[in-house]
Each structure stands twice: as C-alpha cells, then as structure tokens.
Amino acid sequence: MNKTEALEKLLNAYSHHYDITRDVQVEGGGFPAAAFYFLRDENYLISKKHVLNAVENHEYVYFYLADHLDAADLQTQIDRSLQDGLGRIKPNREHMSSFVTLVILADTIDPEAKALMKKTRFRKNFRLALHGWMEYHIAAMEISTHSFLSNPAGKGARKLLEGNFPAGKE
C-alpha cells in the first residue's frame, strides 16, 4: 500500500464523524487533507429556549504525506498544524476542549524525528480552563516497517491508525 492509498483509506474512516477538506492551505504551506469535528451538547429546562448549560468539543486533524520524514520537516509540520489549529479555536464559556492532531504517513522516518515526535507536548488552558483547554496530538505510520508512533497525548490517533492498517492485511 502506498501513501496515497493509505490516505484515502484513512479519510474514509474519518469521514463518518468528521468533515473532510482536501488541499488545505495554511500559512507557510499546506496539507493534502484535513478533517474537522464539532460536537455540542446542551441541557435544557422545559424547552430549548432555556438552555441550562452547553459544552462544545472540537478536533482539527491535519494529514501529511512524506517519502522520508526528518526532524526538521517534522518540526515544520508541527508548527504549521499547531498554528492553524490554534487559530481555529474560539474559547468561550461553552468551549470545553479542542484537539489539534497531526497524522503522518511516511515511507521512512529518521530516528531523530521519532524522538522529536515522542517528546512533543503542548497543552493550553484558556482563562484558567474556565473557557476550556486544548491539547496537541501526533500520530505517524512508517509504511516501510509498518510501525506506528505517537506522542503521549496522541495514543488515540495512533490506535485509529493501527486499527485501519493491521499487520498483514494490506
């Protein structure tokens, strides 16, 4: 399976709950695709006119394809996705959480890039978390070795990759 086929399979999996956008241009570059998720939950008193409380959850997933991923390229993609994702977050009293996720499909990944991926952490509270919080996730698949990596926060995204590309089923 090549990167393009893998991306199509992933986008199909994400399309059940996410809005998919192709050829996403961000400041300084672009991504072949992105997926956006929004969930709003409200509690009412008697009718929908009287909202007791509401919470909103967002996720912004950016997909990146690479023949060979080195640490410099990874840092560039982290910066681009994080900057664009933070720009999309609109904290308010109903905002609970947002996740910005970078999913990488690469033929090969440098050991330095793997180390950078595992140590990358970013979490931000908005107004002492009264207006929610955000967390940055990274997950990657090295196609040549069929191995999966993530930062500590990106375990869910890594499991989604593992579930869509089980060993020996390509």
State pLDDT tens for residues 97-127. Answer: 999 999 999 999 999 999 999 999 999 999 9
Q: How do the domains of the chain map onto residue ranges?
A: 3-164
Q: How confident is the model at residue 72 (pLDDT cuts 50, 70, 90)?
A: very high
CA pair distance 163, 147, nearest whole angstrom:
12
Q: What's the pLDDT tens digit per position in 20-58?
A: 999 999 988 899 999 999 999 988 888 888 888 889 999
Strand-pair category, 147-150 with 29-45? unpaired
CB 139, CB 150: distance < 8 Å: yes
Q: Which two tokens stand for residue 29?
A: 């570059």
